[in-house]
């Protein structure tokens, strides 16, 4: 394994169909090829309890779920994954790649559902125990385009929330990009998945310099080409 002293936590955010799954899989695979100890997680989920909460949250039958109950369920799943998986992994100097984290709550429950942003920020901080990603990659894509990609498969409760809801969510993410420019990096989703991947690598390289990982050859564009050439992407490590 590549030696480093502390873990790195990177989250991915974006609307539906923005390519988070595609890009996180490729990144995890690249880091594994370079011998890093990597965990690939998703929110809500990533633990047995979190996956049960996920089922409740995404179940299209749960139309009566109130916005505040929805918020509390996302935060409960988050507290569980932080305590059970993320905090111990960071302490063991692992690399954690998480598909969504508390910024999704700010955008979906705050801007989307209209719940108090102050309340959400303090609940996020309670659920995470103050553990925030070192870097967040926001894959920006116009909501309509992302939804049309995502709903090619069967859609879930949040995807069904309507165009105006998803436009507000997009606005929420843009608000975060303006508020936290150091952590929250906007990457425009390109037509070519490999170009998007390269843009992501450009936004996270400095984190690996800090780990004393001297071999930066992994940034070579040819590596990204190679990754996407195999199986059209990378295997699911979650």
**Residue 32 token pair:** 């594994």
Per-residue contact flags (x/-) with ligand Z5A for residues 134 to 173, judged by CB under 6 A: ---------------xx-----x-xx--------------
Q: Are 186 and 177 a contacting pair, CB within 8 Å?
A: yes
Under 8 Å between Cβ of 158 and 17: no
Alpha-carbon distances of 98 from 64, 135, 145, rounded to whole Å: 29, 11, 23
Closest CA to 73 of 109, 41, 121: 109
Smallest distance, Å, CB 206 to ligand Z5A?
24
Residue 40 binds to ligand Z5A (criterion: CB under 6 A): no
Among residues 17 and 208, whose Cβ is nearest to ligand Z5A? 17
Helix (H, G, I), strand (E, B) or coil at 14: strand
**Of 21, 32, 52, 144, the one binding ligand Z5A by CB under 6 A:** 21
96 DSSP β-pair partners = 9, 39
Q: With binding defined as CB under 6 A, does residue 196 bind ligand Z5A?
A: yes
- If one asks whether residue 66 binds ligand Z5A (CB under 6 A), the answer comes out as no
User: Which residues in this chain contact ligand Z5A in the complex, by CB under 6 A?
Assistant: 14, 16-22, 42-44, 74, 100, 104-105, 108-109, 149-150, 156, 158-159, 189-191, 193, 196
């Amino acid at each position: 394994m590549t030696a480093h002293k502390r873990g790195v936590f990177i989250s991915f955010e974006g609307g539906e169909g923005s390519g988070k799954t595609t890009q996180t899989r490729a990144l995890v695979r690249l880091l594994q090829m370079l011998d890093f100890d990597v965990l690939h997680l998703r929110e809500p989920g990533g633990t047995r309890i979190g996956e049960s909460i996920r089922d409740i949250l995404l179940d299209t039958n749960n139309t009566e779920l109130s916005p505040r109950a929805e918020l509390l369920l996302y935060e409960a799943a988050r507290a569980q994954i932080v305590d059970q998986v993320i905090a111990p992994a960071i302490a063991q100097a692992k690399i954690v790649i998480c598909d969504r984290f508390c910024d999704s709550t700010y955008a979906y429950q705050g801007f989307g559902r209209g719940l108090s942003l102050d309340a959400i920020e303090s609940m996020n901080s309670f659920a995470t125990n103050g553990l925030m990603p070192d870097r967040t990659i926001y894959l920006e894509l116009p909501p309509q385009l992302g939804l049309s990609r995502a709903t090619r498969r069967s859609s879930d409760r949040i995807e069904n929330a309507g165009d105006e809801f998803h436009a507000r969510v997009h606005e929420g993410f843009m608000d975060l990009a303006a508020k936290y420019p150091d952590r929250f990096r906007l990457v425009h989703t390109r037509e070519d998945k490999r170009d998007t991947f390269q843009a992501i690598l450009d936004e996270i390289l400095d984190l690996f310099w800090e780990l004393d990982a001297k071999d930066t050859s992994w940034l070579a564009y040819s590596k990204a080409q190679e990754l996407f050439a195999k199986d059209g992407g990378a295997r699911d490590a979650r």
